[in-house]
């Protein structure tokens, strides 16, 4: 019997941890890890490292499971960092495993070597290491798994020199299991329950971590028992309350005065699984104070920024379920939700509102919507209500463009039982358009709808609202997304007339694998917030 190598031990560990699906883009420093690839492992190839990380992020979020990402030394890790930042903001449990040059060459700063590899992705990984000895590699990966999957979840990084994989495995194989969530302090929870019972007009503000913890049905039960209105947190990257529910009040905007105005009718606000609050623009301090506020989060840094709010540390589901048991049922007057906008007009040029309304009409039951249309977010809110209570919606928490297209591929690979519909801007799509090749190669069940307004409209809108004039670098146009998709094996069609949109989307949704619809929309931008 031959020597048991670090590679052998690591593969056994990965099987034990359920990490046999690997997203990657390999280089020479990864060959020793990849050689004689096991038949029970799946390697999902992406054509650029940033797309690879975003695909893995979508996969991890849709499945609520950690995933291994395989990158190439300094150059590959460097390409990936924009979406490592996104994975950190998305709280995606990615174990990023990167190659490194041979240990004996490192004193001479070799070609392809990563100087201070473990520091390279910081601060946007929860933990990072290059093991001191080859024999420590499996233990380092097991440690990374535990850190990545403990709340708050997030990416971790392990750099492995190429010669480590063939070294003898001399250490015992680590065992591993995911650490469960943690409950709130009983006294703090009792205080919150009493505050809710005494409130006449309480509001719940729900963020991405509620859906991330699978707690949407629980927060629905809490809202209904209280008779409390529910707001979506500013810039939330997931849907954590069904948007067709009678208690859903709408979306808080990422601006201080707008948040204060929206919440002014409430006498108590409880923020669940979100910061209080995420802002994007500054237009001065609000003239009215926020109501008394409680903040329930599993993230000590979020709690540290609670300001005058009262923080309670807990993973969302355990806190929400405990509150459902403790609070007294109430028949409260919920503030009126603004009237829903009317049905958009079918006219050419196609308006983003109309495009979203058609998607809403044709969206399959239990579909996952992945969105990255920064200049049309209000159109999404107005015309495409998300109703699924299990990962019904994913978008980018960091604001780093290029997430939506590859994340949709990853989500489709993770949940092949559900149709994935990705609604994307033209500018956003071009950052990681290579992921269309992976979608075609893997026959992923995803429909891409690219809304092409021929510009970086969000930059233009926010720039003009801040007083900018003649800002360069915002005009696009002339990109043929249908031909791009077809060149990578993905069926596609361009739509310019409003009357053609519905039948074209219906046909695209019937495809068993991926398809793309290139929709030319009105280039006149609308206000964001």
Query: Cα-flanking dihedrals φ and ψ of residue 164, to 5°?
Result: -65, -35
Q: Strand pairing partners for 515?
A: 447
pLDDT of amino acid 414: 98
How far is the C-alpha of 363 from the C-alpha of 369, rounded, in Å? Answer: 9
Residues 6+ apart with CB under 8 A from 112: 27, 28, 29, 72, 73, 74, 75, 101
How far is the C-alpha of 420 from the C-alpha of 410, rounded, in Å? Answer: 10
pLDDT of amino acid 337: 79
pLDDT tens-digit series, residues 199-258: 999 999 999 999 999 999 999 999 999 999 999 999 999 999 999 999 999 999 999 999
Q: Is the pTM of this model over 0.75?
A: yes
Whether the Cβ atoms of residue 331 and residue 383 lie closer than 8 Å to each other: no
Is there a common fold for 6-164 and 352-520?
A: yes
Taking residue 175's Cβ as centre, other Cβ atoms within 10 Å add up to 9
Q: Is the peptide bond prior to 23 cis by the omega test (within 30 degrees of 0)?
A: no
Helices 404-414 and 49-63 pack at an angle, to 10 degrees, of: 50
Q: Which of 416, 415, 438 is nearest to 485 (CA)?
A: 438
Strands of the sheet containing 21-24, edge to edge, are 42-45, 21-24, 67-71, 94-100, 156-161, 128-129
Query: Cα-flanking dihedrals φ and ψ of residue 175, to 5°?
Result: -105, 165
Question: Above pLDDT 90, what percent of the chain?
Answer: 84
Whether the Cβ atoms of residue 201 and residue 267 lie closer than 8 Å to each other: yes
How far is the C-alpha of 171 from the C-alpha of 173, rounded, in Å? Answer: 6
Is residue 70 within a helix (H) or strand (E), and if so which, with residue range?
strand 67-71
Name the fold adopted by 352-520.
Answer: Rossmann fold (3.40.50)
CATH 1.20.1530.20 fits 6-164, yes or no: no
Listed by start position, the domains of the chain span: 6-164, 186-326, 352-520
CATH 3.40.225.10 fits 186-326, yes or no: no
Residue 156, token pair as written in the block:
């971790």
What are the start-end ranges of the E strands in 324-419? 368-372, 393-394
pLDDT of amino acid 2: 73
pLDDT of amino acid 526: 72
Strand pairing category for 310-313 and 368-372: unpaired
pLDDT of amino acid 64: 96
pLDDT tens-digit series, residues 11-49: 999 999 999 999 999 999 999 999 999 999 999 999 999
Low-confidence residues of the chain, pLDDT below 50? none
Where helices occur in 202-338 by DSSP H, the ranges are: 208-212, 216-226, 256-262, 300-304, 316-326
Alpha carbon 51 to chain centroid, angstroms = 13
Residue 336, token pair as written in the block:
């009126």
How far is the C-alpha of 427 from the C-alpha of 373, rounded, in Å? Answer: 9
Residue 251, token pair as written in the block:
């979306």
pLDDT of amino acid 452: 93
- Residues 301-310: contacts with CB within 8 Å, 24+ apart? 302/274, 302/275, 302/276, 305/275, 305/276, 306/276, 307/276, 309/271, 309/276, 310/188, 310/191, 310/192
């Amino acid at each position: 019997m031959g020597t048991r190598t670090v590679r052998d031990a690591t593969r056994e560990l990965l099987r034990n941890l359920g990490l046999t699906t690997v997203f990657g883009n390999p280089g020479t420093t990864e060959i020793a890890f990849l050689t004689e690839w096991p038949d029970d492992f799946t390697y999902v190839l992406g054509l650029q490292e940033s797309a690879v990380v975003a695909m893995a992020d979508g996969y991890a979020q849709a499945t609520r499971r950690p995933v291994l990402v395989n990158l190439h030394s300094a150059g590959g890790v460097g390409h990936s960092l924009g979406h490592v930042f996104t994975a950190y903001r998305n709280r995606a449990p990615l174990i990023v495993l990167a190659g490194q040059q041979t240990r004996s060459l490192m004193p001479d700063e070799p070609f392809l070597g990563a100087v201070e590899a473990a520091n390279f992705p910081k601060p946007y990984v929860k933990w990072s290491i290059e093991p001191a000895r080859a024999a420590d590699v499996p233990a380092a990966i097991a440690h990374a798994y535990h850190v990545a999957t403990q709340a708050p979840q997030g990416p971790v990084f392990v750099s492995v020199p190429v010669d480590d994989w063939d070294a003898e495995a001399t250490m015992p194989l680590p065992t591993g299991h995911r650490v469960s969530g943690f409950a709130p302090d009983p006294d703090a929870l009792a205080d919150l329950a009493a505050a809710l019972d005494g409130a006449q007009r309480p509001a719940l503000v729900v963020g991405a971590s509620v859906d991330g913890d699978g707690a949407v049905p629980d927060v629905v039960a809490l809202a209904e028992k209280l008779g409390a209105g529910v707001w979506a947190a500013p810039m939330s990257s997931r849907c954590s309350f069904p948007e067709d529910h009678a208690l859903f009040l709408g979306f808080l905007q990422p601006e201080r005065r707008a948040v204060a105005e929206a919440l002014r009718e409430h006498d108590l606000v409880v923020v669940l699984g979100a910061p209080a609050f995420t802002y994007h623009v500054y237009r001065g301090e609000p003239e009215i104070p926020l109501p008394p506020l409680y903040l329930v989060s599993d993230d000590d840094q979020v709690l540290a920024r609670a300001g005058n709010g009262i923080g309670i540390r807990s993973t969302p589901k355990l806190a929400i379920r405990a509150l459902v048991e403790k609070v007294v049922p109430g028949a409260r007057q919920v503030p009126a939700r603004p009237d829903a906008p009317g049905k958009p007009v079918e006219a050419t040029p196609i308006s983003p509102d109309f495009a979203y309304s058609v998607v809403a009409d044709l969206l399959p039951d239990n579909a996952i919507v992945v969105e990255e249309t920064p200049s049309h977010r209000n159109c999404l809110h107005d015309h495409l209500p998300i109703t699924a209570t299990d990962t019904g919606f994913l978008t980018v928490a960091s604001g780093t463009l290029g997430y939506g297209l590859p994340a949709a591929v990853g989500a489709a690979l993770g949940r092949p039982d559900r149709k994935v519909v990705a609604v994307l801007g033209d500018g956003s799509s071009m950052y990681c358009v290579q992921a269309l090749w992976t979608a075609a190669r893997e026959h992923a069940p995803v429909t891409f709808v690219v809304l092409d307004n021929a510009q970086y409209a969000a930059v233009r809108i926010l720039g003009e609202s801040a007083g900018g004039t003649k800002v360069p670098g915002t005009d696009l146009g002339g990109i043929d997304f249908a031909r791009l998709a077809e060149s990578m094996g993905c069926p596609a069609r361009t739509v310019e007339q409003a009357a053609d949109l519905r039948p074209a989307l219906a046909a695209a949704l019937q495809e068993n694998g991926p398809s793309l619809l290139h929709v030319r929309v009105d280039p006149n931008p609308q206000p964001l917030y």
